[in-house]
Amino acid sequence: MNESLNVVVTGGNRGVGRAVAGEAARRGHRVTIVARRPDAGAAAAREIGARFVAGDLSSARTARAAARDIAAAVPRIDVLVHNAALWPSRRVLNEDGFEQSFFTNHLAPFLLNHLLEDRLGRVVQVSAGLYVIGRVDPERTPAGDDFSPTRTYANTKLANLMMVPLFAERWRDAGVTIDAVHPGVLRTGLGERGGFQGFLLRTVKRTLKSAEAGAAPVVDLLTAEGTGRYFNGLKQRPLKPAARNTALATRLWTDATKVLHLA
């Protein structure tokens, strides 16, 4: 059996995050679930024998508070799994003025990586295959001026994925590693909607694999060696051109550093 690790999973109270947390615990790791809702998060933690930390990743203020609470609860984080994500149906701005999914899907993981990096061993970023249709406009995407019920999710996941090679390089000398993984198209609550569109989505989801089926590709990476890679399921894949724009990635990194006051 592999060494038991301290594993922190954001958004670990339901869907893929809940499945990842449960599978990690089953494999003998010490799991901490981070979730916005204390009731749901604590209940999920009890069910799988994990620790729970309340953490809201919707704004810079609340994400910083979450980082402090995570650090207090888990002084040494062997693996941080960024799973929390939003697929919005309408444009909503958070208290910082950012489109909500841009903050939660991109800026929140970026901020946690910086605030917790002195206690990290490894990061696993749960990604999405839809990044290939993403088009990030650094002037418009942050505030959702280019909002689309479909494209915005892809845009924000693309922005997040583009940070992986940059973090891999930043942490290379420190020995901290980072990989991203698309666990598959799964039957989860992500992107839930009302009305006819929601009905169609729920109908399609009945044909998809369960969230539990997507846990293994993520949990396998907890103990993997390597950094800066992208996996589609269990297989490593090269990044598509959309994620290989070095100039845009550098711009997004610089912008995030400034707006989050990390410089």
Q: Determine the Cα–Cα distance for residues 245 and 257; give it in Å rounded to an integer.
A: 18
Q: How far apart are CA 143 and CA 62, in angstroms?
A: 18
Return d(Cα 55, Cα 35) in angstroms, integer: 5
Q: Report yes or no: 227 and 179 within 8 Å, Cβ to Cβ.
A: yes
Which residue is associated with the tokens 């890679």?
229
Sign of the Cα pseudo-torsion (144, 34, 239, 114, in order): positive
**Distant-in-sequence contacts of 94-97, Cβ < 8 A, 24+ apart:** 94/58, 94/59, 95/58, 95/59, 95/61, 96/59, 96/60, 96/61, 96/259, 97/143
Catalytic residue chosen out of the listed positions 103, 153, 171, 231: 153
Q: Output phi, psi for 74, to 5 deg.
A: -130, 85
The CA–CA distances, whole Å, from 254 to 41, 143, 259 equal: 33, 16, 9
Report how far residue 19's alpha carbon sits from residue 76's, in angstroms, rounded to the nearest whole number: 23
Residue 170 phi, psi (nearest 5):
-60, -40
Our answer to whether residue 131 is catalytic in this structure is no
Alpha carbon distance 141, 102 (integer Å): 7
Q: CA quadruple 105, 107, 111, 113: dihedral positive or negative?
A: positive
CB atoms inside a 10 Å sphere around CB 223: 14
Which residues are the active-site residues? 153
